[in-house]
Amino acid sequence: MTIRIGLVSISDRASTGIYEDRGLPALKAWLENTLSSPWMPVSRLIPDERELIESTLKTLVDIEGCALVLTTGGTGPAPRDVTPEATLAVADRVMDGFGEQMRAISLKYVPTAILSRQVGVIRKNALILNLPGQPKAIKEILDGIFPAIPYCIDLIGGPYLETKEGGVIAFRPKK
């Protein structure tokens, strides 16, 4: 079975072609280097519009059947940064530990990590996580939180994600 993973880059400028999006390629590359399970990206590049973010997240989970949705961008304090609000609006449950850990990881690298408003939520049997917008930060965050993601997806009834040897290892408690 091929696991569908939603990848959403949220940027006014990249979505209108003012500059090249770097979020989607960074997410795809990281997942290709990490997952051994067959997977398929379902990608979207959209502007910072709350209603569009909400509808995109709903579509990726409810219609496209994504078990994991990773967003990049729109998590800062600027007025147009509405990704967390849109993500919380479509959530069935909030997973506070993901947001806390993402900020803790980023604080090792930059003092402005305290400005981040990233969240992790569950919608139906999918996990949705807001990641930062820069490729370097995306890698740092995923390296730190991904060990918990496959087990979280197991617990909410999603597919079994496996990771490649020698990289980020999925943690599952011993039975």
Tens of pLDDT, residues 38-52: 999 999 999 999 999
Task: With respect to residue 165, please indicate whether it lies within any of the assigned structural domains.
Answer: no
Supply the pLDDT for residue 24: 97
pLDDT at 145 over 90: yes
Task: With respect to residue 161, please indicate whether it lies within any of the assigned structural domains.
Answer: no
Task: With respect to residue 166, please indicate whether it lies within any of the assigned structural domains.
Answer: no
Supply the pLDDT for residue 90: 98
Q: Whole-angstrom Cα distance, residue 32 to residue 125?
A: 23
DSSP string, 144-168: HHGGGHHHHHHHTT-----B-TTSP
Tens of pLDDT, residues 73-127: 999 999 999 999 999 999 999 999 999 999 999 999 999 999 999 999 999 999 9
How many domains is the chain built from?
1
Supply the pLDDT for residue 107: 97
| End-to-end Cα separation, the chain, in angstroms | 25
Q: Whole-angstrom Cα distance, residue 18 to residue 41?
A: 24
Which pTM was predicted? 0.97
What is the total residue count of the chain? 175
Residues 54-62 have a mean pLDDT of 98
Residues 48-75 have a mean pLDDT of 98
Domain that holds residue 76: 3-155
Does the CA dihedral 17-19-24-28 come out positive or negative?
positive
Helices 96-107 and 135-145, packing angle to 10 deg: 120
Q: Residue 51 is part of a domain; what is its CATH number? A: 3.40.980.10
